[in-house]
Chain A
Amino acid sequence: MKQIANFGGSSTSTAKETISKVKTTRETVTSSTTLQDDEDFTFELKANTTYSINSNLFVSGSSACGFKWLFTVPSGANGRINATSNSSNYVSIDTDIATGFSPIDGVGLTTTAANGNYRLLGFITTTNAGTLTFQWAQKQSSATAAYIERGSTMILTEV
């Protein structure tokens, strides 16, 4: 019998991996513009694999401090991220996943008010296994906190 499709039930199928992370408590950065690793959003990736990235972040970055972010990726990996928001406080951008606007500053957002629902959609293709880590900080150093609220999620799905 000729096989015309594989719906995942045969012995030749390979399970596709989904890695879901949720922030269970608020995470805060204050008086700092140095990108720091997020407490929760770090992922161990396989070599030679493409993952889709879907993230919903509840961010507070006031006009005093703004907000900036970037991903660190396994060596040789490439990908893109499209960032959108339901709030005009956070600009929409499309950027290289590991470069952002610059490798030091990442994607810096000058905001006009604190709260925004920030959505990241994109992909990463690896050549080597390694770690994908979301990093973030204040855009301008301020004693007013920037934070990502509990309930924020990041989901990677192998495609």
Chain B
Amino acid sequence: MNIELREETEFHYIFDSDYGKISVGKYSEENPTGAQTLEDAANIALHCFDSAEE
């Protein structure tokens, strides 16, 4: 899957991908599973469908 960063907001890294828009949450105390860096967010986006029940 190809991804490209579209924009970064207060709460999300937003990517364009072969599967459309993917918003990845940023890390915070309230969101400990979020991405801590852009690289981390890209990795989460690339694998977010791995365990999704298609």
Contact = CB atoms under 8 A, between A and B. Distances in A.
A64 B25 CA distance: 15
A143 B48 contact: yes
A62 interface: yes
A36 B53 contact: no
B22 A28 contact: yes
- Interface residues on chain A, size class: 20 to 34
Contacts of B24: 30-32
Contacts, number: 88
Interface of A is mostly: loop
Given A144-B48, A145-B48, A31 B19 contact: no
Contacts of A143: 33, 44, 47-48, 51
A67 interface: no
B29 to A, nearest CB: 12
A42 B45 CA distance: 24
Contacts of A114: 52-54
Interface of A: 25-34, 36, 39, 60, 62, 64, 113-115, 141-145, 147, 150
11 contacts: A28-B21, A28-B48, A30-B23, A30-B24, A30-B48, A36-B23, A60-B52, A62-B51, A142-B33, A143-B33, A147-B52
